[in-house]
């Protein structure tokens, strides 16, 4: 029995779909119905289920975007840095294996040679480095809190998207934003991300951190060209001239734009499709709201 | 009616004594008896009292010392960074004035000219700077979370001591530790700290941050000499040769050693006694366990 914490969130729902598709039983624990804000409360929640694997898909991401985390700092810390520690404590107590949905946003840029960051590279977009956003800082602290955790997967999601129009979907954001910042990024197709996460446990992959992004990287301009080619939008996309202009006019906190290396995941048999293919497929099967 | 969150802790108990001495009514909210881990829970707690001022003396400091915070990271974040945000949210909702016990440990060293850090100086021993301890990082985030808080005092305590022997008392630590690291620090005599904190509200001082340390600074060697002069210990104190040796042999995380400037507190009429006098008095009135 899988238990999904935050199972009714944007990522949690995709885990629900993937587990259903795989014929796996699961229980959803959601903040609206369950209190899991303390170890004791979470212990009670989990004892009522017959959990054999816990997925922590709960987190605080800010609405409408990550700028909200600069205001709701305590919630951001509680959801992204403290909660992973609570889940760890309770899962270790119950000797339950589990996985945590982390984020690739704890990096910025790519390595000097242009390749992506591996799981061995220390986050470079965190409170400890590079004037990060409060969200990235909290996610990086969340990984620190999990250092040395037993029977624990850390799955790094990075700019989620799929074919379903949603305010949280990267493609929907590209279509709706007035102006865009050109940047180079690794992305995660959500269903593939959830499937790979579940495969970690089903295939008894070694516990640890995995960058679960689609191999390769894309620029914002490439994605916009693909959107135009699929005629999902007839607007003329306009771009900020620089990150500086973007920061001055549209954002209150810097964004992580980064490339991740997926060789560890690939070597573990967790293969997502190449990023350009994955974006093409989402656009081809686009499902407007 | 004062309400003391964490009122049975090392600092909370001193607030109890100071309020009693001042003939003020107070209620203690303690983690053992009350749940205040979420805004709703704290709201319920406070509604049961007729609070007119809330003191947040709760926090996670690590036992036997700050090294424990490197292990219990989630608790440290929850107690020192998230909790202040919860108290802020609830106090702003109830329009209650309040004060938060922060720490001077968010600084390291002193200014280039040897003077102490003022309330205007950004913390330089935090996750954002200078490879801080996890505890200092969390306390600095706690202050970030309180930025712009309404009707809120932030009282910076720094290496508490008084005449009562206790594992948390700086003087007791000096007496008991096998070897010491020589460093220069500002300190806070606890009763004077609590009295000054309470005076902030009683005297309707402007809300904001206050460095509540005894004016001046002392070196570890000076304190040790004073201890020897008062014959509180007959041992030969021994010192680490360097911070490096201390880090290699005795500590798992760097300590904040710093000097704070108290002119803002002094200008507001919050005068603690000069630090050498305060230490002398504690030693003269020493109360062994």
CB contact under 8 A, B145 and A73: yes
First to last CA, chain B: 32
SS3 of A106, please?
A: helix
* Phi and psi based region of residue A207 (left: phi greater than 0; alpha: psi -120 to 50; beta: remaining): beta
Q: What is the number of CB-based contacts under 8 A between chain A and chain B?
A: 60
- The per-residue pLDDT for B56 is 98
Q: Is the pTM of this model over 0.90?
A: no
B39 pLDDT exceeds 80?
yes
Homologous superfamily of B2-160+189-214+261-274: NAD(P)-binding Rossmann-like Domain (3.40.50.720)
For residues B159-180, give the mean pLDDT. Answer: 94
Nearest CA to B150 out of B199, B102, B200, B92 is that of B92
Largest CA distance in chain B: 55
Closest Cα in chain B, distance from residue A166 (Å) = 30
Residue A81 is nearest to which of B77, B86, B145, comparing CB atoms?
B77
Q: How confident is the model at residue B220 (pLDDT cuts 50, 70, 90)?
A: very high
How far, in Å, CA of A101 to CA of A193, rounded?
10
For residues B74-99, give the mean pLDDT. Answer: 97
Residues of A with CB under 8 A from a CB of B: 35, 37-38, 73-75, 77-78, 81-82, 84-86, 88-89, 126-128, 131, 137, 141, 144-145
HSE-up of residue A255 (Cα within 13 Å, Cβ side): 21
ipTM comes to 0.81
SS3 of A202, please?
A: helix
CB contact under 8 A, B127 and A144: no
With beta carbons less than 8 A apart as the criterion, state whether A37 and A78 touch: yes
Q: How confident is the model at residue B47 (pLDDT cuts 50, 70, 90)?
A: very high
- The per-residue pLDDT for B159 is 95
Residue B82 is nearest to which of A35, A82, A128, comparing CB atoms?
A82
CB contact under 8 A, A78 and B82: yes
- The per-residue pLDDT for A115 is 86
CA B102 to chain centre: 6
Which backbone phi and psi does B178 adopt, to 5 degrees? Answer: -65, -45
With beta carbons less than 8 A apart as the criterion, state whether A85 and A145 touch: yes
- Chain A contact set for B89 (CB, 8 A): 74
B287 pLDDT exceeds 90?
yes
Closest Cα in chain B, distance from residue A149 (Å) = 11
CB contact under 8 A, A141 and B82: no
Nearest CA to A99 out of A200, A213, A211 is that of A200
What is the domain partition of chain A in residue ranges?
2-284
With beta carbons less than 8 A apart as the criterion, state whether A81 and A136 touch: no
Radius of gyration of chain B (CA): 18
- Chain B contact set for A144 (CB, 8 A): 73
How far, in Å, CA of B125 to CA of B132, rounded?
5
B218 pLDDT exceeds 90?
yes
B131 pLDDT exceeds 80?
no
- Chain A contact set for B42 (CB, 8 A): none
CB contact under 8 A, B141 and A127: yes
Q: How far apart, in Å, are the Cα atoms of A219 and each of A74, A122, A166, A185, B194?
A: 33, 24, 21, 6, 56
In A65-216, DSSP assigns E strands to: 98-103, 152-157, 160-161, 179-180, 184-185, 188-189, 208-211
Q: Which residue of B has its CA nearest to A132?
A: B128
Q: Does residue B195 or residue B242 have the better pLDDT?
A: B195
Q: How far apart, in Å, are the Cα atoms of B132 and each of B107, B114, B257?
A: 9, 21, 11
With beta carbons less than 8 A apart as the criterion, state whether B196 and B213 touch: no
Mean pLDDT per 10-residue interval, chain A, length 289 residues:
96 97 95 88 92 97 88 95 97 97 91 87 85 89 95 97 96 91 94 98 97 95 94 85 88 87 95 96 93
Instruction: Please state the length of chain B.
Output: 289
Q: Which residue of A has its CA nearest to B71?
A: A145
How far, in Å, CA of B117 to CA of A15, rounded?
50
- Chain B contact set for A74 (CB, 8 A): 81-82, 84-86, 88-89, 145
Q: Which residue of A has its CA nearest to B142?
A: A74
How far, in Å, CA of B94 to CA of A232, rounded?
48
Residue B85 is nearest to which of A74, A127, A137, comparing CB atoms?
A74
- The per-residue pLDDT for B240 is 92
CB contact under 8 A, B89 and A81: no
- Chain A contact set for B127 (CB, 8 A): 126-128, 137, 141
- Chain B contact set for A84 (CB, 8 A): 74
How far, in Å, CA of B18 to CA of B22, rounded?
6
- The topology (CATH level 3) of A2-284 is Rossmann fold (3.40.50)
Q: How confident is the model at residue B64 (pLDDT cuts 50, 70, 90)?
A: confident
Give the DSSP H or E segment for A187: none
- The per-residue pLDDT for A153 is 98
Closest Cα in chain A, distance from residue B72 (Å) = 8
């Amino acid at each position: 029995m899988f238990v999904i914490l935050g199972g009714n969130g944007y990522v949690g729902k995709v885990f629900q779909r993937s587990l259903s598709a795989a014929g796996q039983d699961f229980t959803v624990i959601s903040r609206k119905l369950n209190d899991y804000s303390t170890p004791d409360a979470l212990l009670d929640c989990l004892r009522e289920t017959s959990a054999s694997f816990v997925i922590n898909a709960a987190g605080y991401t800010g609405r409408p975007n990550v700028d909200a985390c600069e205001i709701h700092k305590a919630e951001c810390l509680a959801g992204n840095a403290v909660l992973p520690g609570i889940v760890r404590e309770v899962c270790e107590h119950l000797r339950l294996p589990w996985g945590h949905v982390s984020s690739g946003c704890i990096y910025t840029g790519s390595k000097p040679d242009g390749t992506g960051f591996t799981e061995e590279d220390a986050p470079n977009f965190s409170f400890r480095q590079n004037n990060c956003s409060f969200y990235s800082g909290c996610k990086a602290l969340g990984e620190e809190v999990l250092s040395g955790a037993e029977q624990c997967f850390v799955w790094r999601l990075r700019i989620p998207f799929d074919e379903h129009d949603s305010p949280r979907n990267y493609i929907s954001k590209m279509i709706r934003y007035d102006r865009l910042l050109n940047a180079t990024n690794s992305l995660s197709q959500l269903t593939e991300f959830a499937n790979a996460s579940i495969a970690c446990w089903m295939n008894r992959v070694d516990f640890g951190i995995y960058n679960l992004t689609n191999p390769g990287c894309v620029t914002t301009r490439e994605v916009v060209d693909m959107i135009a080619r699929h005629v999902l939008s007839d607007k003329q996309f306009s771009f900020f001239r620089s990150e500086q202009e973007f920061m001055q006019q549209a954002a209150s906190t810097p964004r992580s734009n980064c490339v991740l290396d997926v060789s560890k995941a690939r070597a573990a048999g967790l293969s997502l499709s190449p990023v350009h293919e994955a974006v093409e497929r989402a656009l081809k099967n686009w499902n407007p709201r």
